[in-house]
Amino acid sequence: MGLINRHKNDLVKLHILIGRIDALIAMASYQKSLNYYSEPKLIHYTENKEIKHFIETKNIYHPLLKEPVSNSLKIKKRGVIITGSNASGKSTFLKTLGISAIFAQSMFFTFSRFYHSCYFKVFTSIGTTDNLMEDESYFMTEARLLKRIIDEENKNTPILCILDEIFRGTNTVERISTGIEVLKYFTSRNFCVINATHDLELADLSKGFCENYHFREEITGKDIIFSYVLRRGVCKTKNAIKILKNMGYPEEIYKGAINFSKKF
């Protein structure tokens, strides 16, 4: 016991060293299991404030998918709006960007062929739900989360802000109105904002300060085929009514929905 006490500090250092080696072995083993990965090129925002915030990545993919489709994206100074039909890949792509940003800054590798960005503080609003324990609605929960992101603004470190369906917990008019103003606020400050949405109006109104990208599908007979390929521009396809038809909804519902949608 006396020997252990005399070398207590050395044992603590040894314990930490063994832990680090074990972590590095785990990381190396995980990297070997991947189809491919890359070491990121990262710079501090304070080194060159003229560039503002930026991300450039090629062939990025989600590491938990068995057969992932890779995509490329370049963001510089402007925000990004991603539109697309249900299950087209919007939320998965948001998570892909967030995961790689975190891995780049912590594990120093990304799930891509190439990754270049500044250092970010990463904040997301994905899969937000209401809070029954706190007696908060979905909208209140999301509003508080977005306010927290706003309060985290930092002049020296850009914030990577990843949003999925901003303010979807309220009516259409207020969702579009508040959504566009929040996006405008973020893009005019030190935020790199990426927002996925079904609201094509939001994509159209934000063209002055956001780039538009989309995912789409092909409908052939009863089949809906997704490519999961990110494309430039606003999505022009829809599949919600088709899904209801394929699920066996009464004909009067989906046909009525089709006719009513034409009025818009």
Residue 44 is predicted with a pLDDT of 85
For the chain, give the mean pLDDT.
89
Sign of CA dihedral 223, 227, 228, 232: negative
pLDDT in tens, 214-234: 999 887 777 788 899 999 999
Is residue 66 domain-shared with residue 173, that is, in the same domain?
yes
Residue indicated by tokens 């949608």: 261
Asked if 101 and 127 sit in the same domain, the reply is yes
Indicate if 8 and 109 belong to the same structural domain.
no
Q: What is the CATH number of the domain that holds 188?
A: 3.40.50.300
In the predicted structure, residue 1 carries a pLDDT above the cut 80: no
Q: Are residues 22 and 116 in the same domain?
A: no
What's the pLDDT band for 151 if we cut at 50, 70, 90?
very high
Q: How far apart are CA 97 and CA 242, in angstroms?
A: 30
Q: Are 196 and 164 in contact (CB under 8 A)?
A: yes
**Judgement on whether residues 123 and 22 belong to the same structural domain of the protein:** no
Does residue 74 share a domain with residue 7? no
* 152 DSSP assignment: T
Residue 29 has pLDDT above 70, yes or no: yes
Q: Kindly state whether residues 15 and 66 are assigned to the same domain.
A: no
Query: Which residues lie below 8 Å from residue 87, measured CB to CB, with a gap of 6+?
Result: 226, 239
Is 81 strand, coil or helix? Answer: strand
User: Same domain for 67 and 193?
Assistant: yes
The whole-number pLDDT of residue 115 equals: 98
d(CA 88, CA 215): 6
Within its chain, how far is the Cα of 11 from the centroid?
42
Of the candidates 99, 105, 98, the one whose C-alpha atom is nearest the C-alpha of residue 45 is: 105
Residues 145 and 197 in one domain: yes
Alpha-carbon distance of 202 to 180, in angstroms, equals 6
pLDDT band at 24 (very low <50, low <70, confident <90, very high): very high
Same domain, 16 and 49: no
Expressed as residue numbers, the domain containing 26 is 1-33
Spatial contact of 41 and 115, defined as CB atoms under 8 Å apart: yes
Of 53, 81, 51, which Cα lies nearest the Cα of 234? Answer: 81
Q: Do 12 and 125 lie in a common domain?
A: no
Check residue 45 and report its DSSP letter. G
Tokens of 261: 């949608």
Q: 3-class DSSP state for residue 53?
A: coil
C-alpha 191/C-alpha 45 separation (Å) is: 12
Number of domains in the chain: 2
12 pLDDT above the threshold of 70: yes
Average pLDDT over residues 204-211: 93
Query: What amino acid occupies position 102?
Result: I
Residue 181, judged by CB atoms within 10 A of its CB (0-12, 13-18, 19+), counts as exposed
What percent of the chain has pLDDT above 70? 93
d(CA 37, CA 52): 26
Same domain, 23 and 81: no
**Confidence bin at 129 (pLDDT 50/70/90):** low
Which has the closest alpha carbon to 245: 237, 257, 236? Answer: 257
